[in-house]
Chain A
Amino acid sequence: MTIKSVDCQTVSKTFYDAVIVGSGVAGAIVAKQLSEQGKNVLILEAGTSRDLTLAGFQSYVETFYGAIAKHANSPYPLNLNALSPTDGLNSYFEEKGPMPLSGSYTRVTGGTTMHWQGTTLRMLPDDFKLRSKYGQGLDWPIEYTDLMPYYRKAEYEIGVSGNTKEQKELDIPFLPGYVFPMKELPPSYLDEQIREKIDGTTFDLDKETIKLKLSSFPQGRNSVPNPDYALYHGDVFVPSGVTSENPLEYGERCQGNASCVPICPVQAKYDARRTLGTIAFPDRVHLLSQAVASRVEIDPENGRVTAIHYKHYKDKNSPQYTIGTAKGRLFVLAANAIENAKLMLASELLSTSGLIGNNMMDHPFILTWALMPQVIGTMRGPLVTSGIGTFRKGKFRKQQSAFGIAIENSGWGWSGTGATDVLRDAVNRNRYGKDLRQELIDRISRQLLLAFMCELPADYSNRVTIDPQYKDRLGNYRPVIHFNISDYCKKTMADARKVSREIFKRLKAEDYTHYKNSDPAYFEYEGEGYWYRGGNHFSGTHVMGTSKHNSVVNKNLRSWDYENLYLVGSGSMPSIGTANTTLTIAALSFLASEQMLKDLNT
């Protein structure tokens, strides 16, 4: 049983308790929480929803198989009516520079969790006090401890595998006795090779000695349920799996398909369709897909939101659309940081703080790559199983940003030289037969890539805006992006490169890292050249804060200017530390849902 797909006519005749824009992780959790308390909700989804059926999901897998470039959105068919930005491959983002934001999100049912990697790190307590402790970016109006219970709910909903003991070593507090629902995924062979040589060694960063230590990545991917979770939860966690309209009888452990991004073919990775598919009262949740929200309607009399206007298209290959409105008591924008801001700007919503669209953040990644001295069997297992978290915290954050290191199991693909490129190069040099096979092992199976995810604190001038010049096929605004990387972050990128040199030396790995100056994301810092890659962790565009003058939403994610409007998602986050944003988005969605229910019940 899944939620009810409805048409425009049903929507126009229904007055909902809540209208939610977006069916990603935030919208799905809000829909689940509200409907379970008896509320009737509507989800407007800009993209298509055929993936709620088995054949629909399989067609994504097929599209992926058939795609020559297997990029983050390759399973999801091109939809000109609701374009998904894809690392600059289409012109959805209007990038005004000076540096590119790049990156991608996915506009289909389930949102960007359809292609996310599944990393579910919690933010560190210090991350919530970036301004007061380190004089950078913004503080949150709440603390880590306020979010703790919601992190636990999020970890249950997503089904997190991980090791709390390792996370505690980073000074992340957990409820006594609490463990993640499932045990950590086994580390890769590569991880162990690195651990052997690296664990316990040190690196000096801004006069601070940091000890390098590998730890597993908590992730939204099925592994072995942890029996100790029963002590907290009352019962052992039962992982769920395939989402489908028709009954399917199994949930899978991660099988090592090695394609977490862009699609897990066995659905061992969480995506938001799973939340939609496990709603206890599916009749209370209506889904209208192919409906792009275009305007938030305000009653000028009382300043309340009265409706969401949307453009509904029948065929994604045609620009024909009809206009509809969705009415209700409460409105929730859960379309992601960029789309939320864009929609509010397009609706000319009142903004006392003037901060809608500003403070846009992301996690720029510095990549470094090398060949290990021995064959390590690159390209096996989930894309990342371990990393080094010890640079996520430290006094150095006053001078330069924190960063996390991921050990990529998938080789050099992200740097631009994938396995297929190596093959083509070898064949073009007339390698064939057994020699060819040996060369491939030599050049691929020793590949190591380290990804350094750097914090980029909120900066007023990094922003998404709109401009009538830049619209999409349906006449909706395309995001206009102004983005730059501060020296605070560049200093760390340069140091990350130094850390990688040190690690490669200790591993006796041959360093192949090279940053071409023709790359759009190329920059120089203290005489050396680098480029970065976008992290897809767009956030900060409608930050939460302590007053209507310093923020767009309050600590419950309710708009300061419109009392029946909630803005959920990473747009509400004043800082994102060195944690991938999805888990915190999920936690905030649980938190906000509680307040929504209070509002609806008064």
Chain B
Amino acid sequence: MDIDTPEFMEYFLDFSVAVTGFSRFDLQGTGQVSLYFSTIRGIIGDQIFGELLQTFHDLDRKAKRENNQSVLTDGISFEILVSGKLGPIARNIIKLWYTAIWYQLPSPWQEKFGARQNDITFIVSPYAYPEGLLWPAIGVNPPGAKAPGYGTWSEPPSVKLS
């Protein structure tokens, strides 16, 4: 499978929007989209990455066609996240977006689908760290970057529980 096409980049963005809960603008606003795409691809290869994105895209299309959002949400839960093959990759992509860290895949996955050479736990790039979504998710700056300004810590928090 060749995923080096604009469509797969689009699928990646759509998938990322769905699993992170952040908008496309937010994700592109991190400036990390292509770095993350190439990092994931470089570690797990086109085949499984492509399969994940294609599976998501098919679910997304079906949900839109049937105008039924639960097709997508159920699909993400039961066809992707619980899948022994795609689940660990999907979870890793969420963690990557939130923390800029690629976590080494769990050993059952490695045993079944083959260990990958670059599959170690690492921060993808020092300047990806401040772009982690964990921090905006809880309404704070990443420690050590994007400071909010003097005295802002006295204000009520910007996030709330719904």
Give me the interface of A with B, judged by CB distance under 8 Å. Answer: 61-68, 70, 186-189, 192, 223, 253-259, 263, 265-266, 375-382, 385, 409-410, 419-420, 423-424, 427-428, 430, 432-438, 440-442, 444-445
A438 to B90, CA, bound (A): 19
- Say yes or no: A223 contacts B150, CB within 8 Å: yes
What is the CA–CA distance of A489 and B67 in the complex, to the nearest angstrom?
66
Q: What residues of chain A lie closer than 8 Å to B160, measured between beta carbons?
A: 375, 441
| A441 and chain B: residue at smallest CB distance | B159
Closest to B123 in A: A66
A440, B138: Cα distance in complex, Å: 7
* Docked-complex contact A256 and B137, CB < 8 angstroms: no
Is B21 part of the contact surface with A, judged by Cβ < 8 Å? yes
Chain A residues with Cβ under 8 A from B77's Cβ?
Answer: 430
Q: When the two chains form their complex, are residues A427 and B91 in contact, meaning their CB atoms are under 8 A apart?
A: yes
Given contacts A265-B144, A440-B134, A440-B138, A433 and B19 within 8 Å (CB-CB): yes
Q: Does B48 contact A (CB under 8 A)?
A: no
Q: How far is the CA of A263 from the CA of B142 in the complex (A)?
A: 13
Please determine whether B159 and A187 come into contact, CB atoms closer than 8 angstroms.
Answer: no
**Nearest B residue to A62 by beta-carbon distance?**
B126
Q: Is the CB of A432 within 8 A of B157?
A: no
Contact with A along B84-104 (1 / 0, CB 8 A): 000100110011001101010
In the complex, residue of chain A having the shortest beta-carbon distance to the beta carbon of B91 = A427
> Which residues on B sit within 8 Å (CB–CB) of A423?
95, 98-99, 134
| A188 pairs with B154, CB closer than 8 A | yes
Pair A437/B147 contact, Cβ less than 8 Å: no
Which residues in A have their C-beta under 8 angstroms from that of B90? 432
Find chain A residues with CB under 8 A from B101 CB.
68, 420
Chain B residue with minimal CB distance to A424? Answer: B95
Contact in complex: B95, A427 (CB < 8 Å): yes
Set B140, B144, B148, B149: member contacting A65, Cβ < 8 A: B144
Partner of A441, one of B138, B150, B151: B138
Per a CB cutoff under 8 Å, which of B103, B129, B134, B139 touches A377?
B139
What are 7 A-B pairs with beta-carbon distances under 8 A?
A68-B101, A189-B157, A257-B141, A266-B147, A377-B153, A419-B138, A440-B138
Which listed residue (B21, B81, B147) contacts A430, Cβ 8 A? B81
Residue of A with least CB distance to B106: A428
Q: In the complex, which residue of chain B has the Cβ closest to the Cβ of A428?
A: B91
| B148 CB contacts on chain A under 8 angstroms | 255-256, 380
The count of A-to-B residue pairs whose CB atoms sit within 8 angstroms is 157
* Complex: A369 Cα to B160 Cα, angstroms: 21
Query: What are the 8 tightest A-B residue pairs by CB atom distance, in nearest-first order?
Result: A377-B157, A381-B153, A255-B147, A259-B144, A66-B126, A65-B126, A259-B143, A433-B21
How close is A569's CB to chain B, nearest CB, in angstroms? 28
Whether A432 lies near B98 (C-beta < 8 A) is: no
Partner of A257, one of B126, B139, B144: B144
Contacts of B20 in A (CB 8 A): 432-433, 436
Neighbour of A438 across the interface among B126, B145, B147, B162, CB < 8 A: B162
Query: Is B152's CB under 8 angstroms from A436's CB?
Result: no
In the complex, what residue of chain A is closest to B122 when comparing beta carbons?
A68
The reply to whether A377 and B156 contact each other, CB–CB distance below 8 Å, is yes
Which of A419, A424, A436, A442 is in CB contact (< 8 Å) with B161?
A442
Question: Contact at A380–B129, with CB atoms within 8 Å?
Answer: no
Bound Cα distance from A428 to B77, whole angstroms: 12
The answer to whether B144 and A64 touch across the interface, beta carbons within 8 angstroms, is yes
Contact B143 A70 (CB under 8 A): yes
Q: Is the interface of B mostly helix, strand, loop or mixed?
A: loop
Say which residue of B18, B129, B138, B147 sits within 8 Å of A433 (CB atoms): B18
Complex CA–CA separation, A186 to B152 (angstroms)? 9
Chain B residue numbers with a CB within 8 Å of A435 are: 21
* Contact in complex: A263, B123 (CB < 8 Å): no
Q: State the CA gap A192–B147 with chains docked (Å).
A: 21
Chain B residues touching A, range: 35 or more
B5 sits at the interface (CB 8 A): no
Establish whether residues A265 and B145, one from each chain, have CB atoms under 8 Å apart when the complex forms.
Answer: yes
Decide yes or no whether B34 CB sits under 8 A from chain A.
no
Specify which chain A residues have a CB less than 8 angstroms from the CB of B147 in the assembled complex: 255-258, 265-266
Write the nearest CB–CB distance from A407 to chain B, whole angstroms. 12
B125 at the binding interface (Cβ < 8 Å): yes
A410 to B8, alpha carbons, bound, how many Å?
39
B155 within 8 A of A: yes
A427-B94 contact in complex given A68-B123, A377-B157, A438-B162, C-beta closer than 8 Å: yes
Residues of A within 8 A of B143 (CB): 70, 257-259, 379, 410
With CB as the reference atom, state the residue of chain A lying closest to B140: A379
Q: Whole-angstrom distance between the alpha carbons of A409 and B148 in the complex?
A: 15
Q: Is the Cβ of A432 less than 8 Å from the Cβ of B81?
A: yes
B121 nearest in chain A by CB position: A68
Report chain A residues within 8 Å CB of B126.
Answer: 62-63, 65-66
Nearest chain B CB to A41 CB, angstrom units: 34
- Among B76, B77, B140, chain A packs the most CB atoms within 10 A around the CB of B140
In the assembled complex, B35 has its CB within 8 A of some CB on chain A: no
> By the criterion CB–CB under 8 Å, are B144 and A263 in contact?
yes
B50 on the A face (CB < 8 A):
no
Q: Are B21 and A432 in contact (CB under 8 A)?
A: yes
User: A428 to B156, alpha carbons, bound, how many Å?
Assistant: 31
Apart from A430-B81, A433-B20, A436-B21, what are 14 other A-B pairs with CB-CB below 8 Å? A189-B153, A223-B150, A253-B150, A256-B152, A257-B147, A258-B141, A376-B157, A377-B159, A380-B148, A423-B98, A424-B103, A436-B94, A441-B139, A445-B139
Give min CB distance, B105 to chain A, whole Å: 13
* Contact A255 B129, beta carbon cutoff 8 Å: no
Nearest CB of chain B from residue A343's CB, rounded to whole Å: 33
CB distance from B17 to the nearest CB of A (A): 9
Q: Is B117 among interface residues, defined by CB-CB distance under 8 A? A: no
Contact status A188-B19, CB under 8 Å = no
Are A382 and B21 touching (Cβ within 8 A)? Answer: no
| Residues in chain A near residue B149, CB distance under 8 A | 255-256
